[in-house]
A and B are shown apart, each in its own frame.
Chain A
């Protein structure tokens, strides 16, 4: 059971938009910054979003992040088959004194 809650899977057609939610509580998402990671099959995770909504150099603007209260959302527009991956949210939990992750969401591009 992960501290942060994500839907197990989402799917959409190529070219469409999808959002992935990440739900927490005040001690984690509510008071700390959220990051998002993309894990392509058989590879290491890759940072997609940090500080709730910032993209590292090289990450296309098709990827966006937002946060409201105790929830965060990753948005992906113009879906490509190469976007099929597992996506994880993460943040610091001030009560647990640990970095916590969501359980991951598998994106299928139909």
Chain B
């Protein structure tokens, strides 16, 4: 059974960099699929951040692209998110997920982590 678990600081200061890791168990990242990050501000809807393939190929939300880096470490079977220059608007629950995108026109998340709350505050 595939499971994903987010980890990282729950509190980040404004202007600093948010760093999270998603550890995958029950499935080897090298075996395929994309892996993604999605966030949900308090009381609001879902926002896609970006996806990464085990080869390192990435797709980012254009609205966040200048501040986002997603990387993968296949030896540790995890992938990571870095979001720089954070503000209060980046306060959200951050989810990692396995992404199935067999075609350009198909993209959905079939396995989700439980999410981790990140608050941006001094």
Which residues of A does B touch, CB under 8 Å?
2, 31-33, 35, 37, 43-47, 50-51, 56, 88, 90-92, 94, 96-104
Q: Which bucket holds chain B's interface residue count?
A: 20 to 34
Contacts of B105 in A (CB 8 A): 31-33, 92, 94
Q: Contact at A88–B45, with CB atoms within 8 Å?
A: yes
B47's partner among A33, A92, A101 (CB-CB below 8 A) is A101
> What are 17 contact pairs spanning A and B, CB under 8 A?
A32-B106, A32-B107, A33-B106, A37-B109, A43-B114, A44-B115, A45-B95, A45-B112, A88-B46, A90-B46, A92-B107, A97-B62, A99-B107, A101-B47, A101-B48, A103-B45, A104-B45
The 0/1 profile, CB within 8 Å of A marked 1, for residues 60-75 of chain B is: 0111000000000000
Q: How far is the CA of A33 from the CA of B95 in the complex (A)?
A: 22
